[in-house]
């Protein structure tokens, strides 16, 4: 018998009209589901699955499943990023703005603060809700950058973009960089280590009013792609993020300020990444908004005759749409105008489906 049960929404439908009691709304967003998969968990793996309709599902709930159901269906609060409000009842774009010489796709593209700021302003004009500024590459094999060097890269960019009215996120693992960027005007922390790299980071975030993205990873950037293994990647990533959420709350960070990222490509094989994307809706039962960063990742190249990073736009958009179909609130991307156009088209389809027919 399974020691624990998790709920994964499935059976997504276009609209709830005429289906009272038979469908549920996912995290207060634009997605509705008519069935769920109950996953029986023993240790780090699934030992049973059961597909059930939403109608009458409450009869199967104990206290734990009832809590998961509330987490799945409760609306996500908007992000208050300074003067900017980013609503999470619809998918949003976070743009990648790397001020680095060695990021896997765009390293060295912005050689100075001025060109990085210009690119950020352009990304915002193209529809990016959040500009995610990073000064250290975390691609496979990347080496750690000294904190002061990282600060010197990102601080002038953050300062100028924030002063111009953009909602800026700082992509870093280091408390010193977080503090410097927050003082310069960043309003969100995106930590690929989920506050594990630097023991002081949780305190920095807790003392601020900034939301934080906790991302799953396996190992360090230097070693993470050296034969990563899991008993069951979907379940292990879920349980790891659950632990990191609890640790963040224990450090004084309210769950309403926590977002989660399953860490596409961070210590995962192609098969692991695809399994995570297929099962993405499971993560909503953690009660946090979901961020997905699959843009231009190695998996796309592996599925398309080893296409180089700058030839992975179509695959990136395919993953972005797969993510939002399962309720992801934020997609983190390199190609802003193309992704925004894809999401606006998706949103048009959803708006039409959610327009009641009269007569």
150 in a domain, yes or no?
A: yes
Convert the pLDDT of each residue in 164-175 to its tens digit.
999 999 999 999
- Tokens representing 246 are 């609890």
Inter-residue contact 124 to 135 (CB < 8 Å): no
Contacts of the segment 241-249: beta carbons below 8 A, 24+ positions apart: 241/194, 241/214, 241/216, 241/283, 241/286, 242/286, 244/194, 244/195, 244/196, 244/214, 244/216, 245/214, 245/286, 245/288, 247/195, 247/202, 248/195, 248/202, 248/205, 248/212, 248/214
Cβ contacts of 244 within 8 Å, gap of 6 or more: 194, 195, 196, 214, 216, 260
Do the domain assignments include residue 359? no
Q: How do residues 27-53 score in pLDDT, each as one tens digit?
A: 999 999 999 999 999 999 999 999 999
Domain final residue pick, 44, 73, 102: 73
Q: DSSP class of residue 22?
A: T
Last residue of a domain, one of 73, 93, 113: 73
In a domain, 331, yes or no: yes
Residues 154 and 55 in one domain: no
Q: Do 157 and 279 fall within a single domain?
A: yes
The residue range of the domain holding 158 is 79-350
Residue located via tokens 């799945």: 72
Does residue 332 carry a catalytic annotation? yes
Residue 297 is a catalytic residue: yes
Q: Is the pLDDT of residue 331 over 50?
A: yes
| Same domain flag for 242 and 344 | yes
Mean pLDDT taken over the chain: 94
Looking at residue 315, what is its pLDDT? 98
Contact 94, 132 (CB under 8 A): yes
- Predicted confidence band of residue 107 (pLDDT cuts 50, 70, 90): very low
Tally of domains within the chain: 2
Q: Which of 244, 297, 312, 350 is catalytic?
A: 297
**292 - beta bridge partners?**
331
Here the tokens at position 166 are 């953009």
Question: pLDDT above 70 covers what percent of the chain?
Answer: 94
Residues 57 and 88 in one domain: no
Domain boundary among 73, 107, 132: 73
Q: Is the domain of 221 the same as that of 104?
A: yes
Q: Do both 221 and 345 map to the same domain?
A: yes
Q: Are residues 345 and 203 in the same domain?
A: yes
């Amino acid at each position: 018998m399974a020691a624990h049960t998790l709920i994964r929404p499935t059976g997504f439908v276009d609209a709830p009209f005429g289906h009272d009691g038979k469908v549920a709304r996912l995290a207060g967003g634009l997605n509705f589901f008519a069935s769920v998969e109950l996953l029986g968990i023993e240790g780090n793996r699934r030992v049973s699955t059961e597909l059930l309709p939403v109608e009458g599902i409450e009869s199967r709930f104990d206290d734990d499943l009832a809590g998961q159901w509330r987490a799945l269906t409760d609306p996500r609060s908007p992000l208050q990023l300074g003067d900017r409000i980013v609503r999470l009842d619809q998918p949003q774009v976070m743009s990648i703005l790397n001020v680095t010489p060695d990021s896997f796709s765009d390293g060295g593209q912005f050689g100075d603060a001025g060109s990085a700021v210009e690119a950020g302003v352009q990304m915002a004009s193209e529809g990016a809700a959040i500009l995610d500024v990073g000064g250290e590459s975390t691609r496979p094999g990347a080496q750690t950058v000294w904190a002061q060097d990282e600060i010197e890269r990102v601080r002038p960019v953050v300062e100028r973009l924030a002063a111009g009215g953009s909602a800026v996120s700082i992509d870093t693992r280091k408390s010193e960089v977080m503090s410097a960027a927050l003082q310069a005007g960043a309003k969100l922390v995106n930590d690929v280590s989920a506050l594990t790299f630097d023991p002081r980071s949780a305190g920095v975030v807790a003392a601020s009013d900034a939301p934080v993205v906790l991302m799953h990873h396996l190992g360090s950037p230097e070693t993470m792609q050296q034969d990563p293994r899991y008993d069951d990647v979907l379940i292990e990533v879920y349980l790891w993020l659950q632990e990191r959420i609890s640790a963040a709350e224990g450090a004084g960070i309210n769950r309403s300020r926590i977002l989660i990222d399953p860490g596409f490509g961070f210590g995962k094989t192609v098969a692991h990444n695809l399994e995570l994307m297929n099962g993405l809706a499971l993560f909503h039962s953690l009660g946090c908004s979901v961020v997905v960063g699959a843009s231009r990742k190695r998996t796309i190249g592996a599925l398309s005759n080893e296409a180089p990073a700058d030839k992975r736009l179509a695959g990136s958009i395919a993953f972005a749409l797969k993510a939002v179909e399962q309720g992801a609130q934020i997609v983190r991307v390199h190609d802003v105008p193309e992704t925004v156009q894809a999401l606006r088209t998706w949103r048009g389809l959803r708006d039409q489906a959610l327009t009641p027919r009269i007569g």
